[in-house]
Chain A
């Protein structure tokens, strides 16, 4: 099985599964994903604009 880079937007992380050291050219490393703010779900008003 070859490497698969998994982008999990729900958990906000990137992982590599099925690491295959024989793979050439190799994907040498995937550094932990930098966390970027995920806005509120589409259609939801931002917290400061919630209806009172």
Chain B
């Protein structure tokens, strides 16, 4: 079954030559100064497919949940992948794809973004939406 090998929330991601360049990996909170607001986050995905799954169409979908775990949005699309010419027999094919997610928030708290491949839940990414706050500074006094 096509599956998500990893899904990394980050500040920036790109794929080049089958490898990912990821900056700010692991970001898990987004700051919104007023509600309702809009946020955006990048998620670097690596999807792996078996040999017999190449050349077929697959569905990728994301479901967004609010802090009460109520579904607030769902989007899906389709993709297919072909084997790399240098793929070794028996190896799965990996497909790295940066994805960008723009959504509206109406309350502070933990939103969840679920990744589904072919209708199968693969990963759920928590994203904490917070009000901007002054970062406490360590006491510098001697």
On A, residues with C-beta under 8 Å from B are: 1-10, 12-14, 23-34, 36, 38-39, 41-44
A25 to B51, CA, bound (A): 13
Closest 6 CB pairs of A and B: A2-B15, A9-B73, A9-B103, A30-B77, A42-B66, A36-B74
Contacts of A26 in B (CB 8 A): 81-82
Q: Count of B residues near A, CB < 8 Å?
A: 42
Given contacts A24-B18, A30-B77, contact A2 B98 (CB under 8 A): yes
A-B contact count (CB 8 A): 109
B14 touches A7 (CB 8 A): no
A41 touches B102 (CB 8 A): no
| B50 on the A face (CB < 8 A) | no
B95 touches A27 (CB 8 A): yes
Interface residues of B in 66-82 (CB under 8 A from A): 66-68, 70-82
Measured between C-beta atoms, what is the minimum distance from A35 to chain B in Å? 9
Among A10, A27, A33, A41, the residue within 8 A (CB) of B76 is A33
Given A4-B97, A14-B76, 20 more pairs with CB closer than 8 A = A2-B98, A5-B77, A5-B98, A5-B100, A6-B99, A7-B62, A8-B75, A8-B102, A10-B104, A24-B18, A24-B85, A25-B54, A26-B81, A27-B79, A32-B77, A36-B74, A39-B72, A41-B36, A41-B106, A42-B70
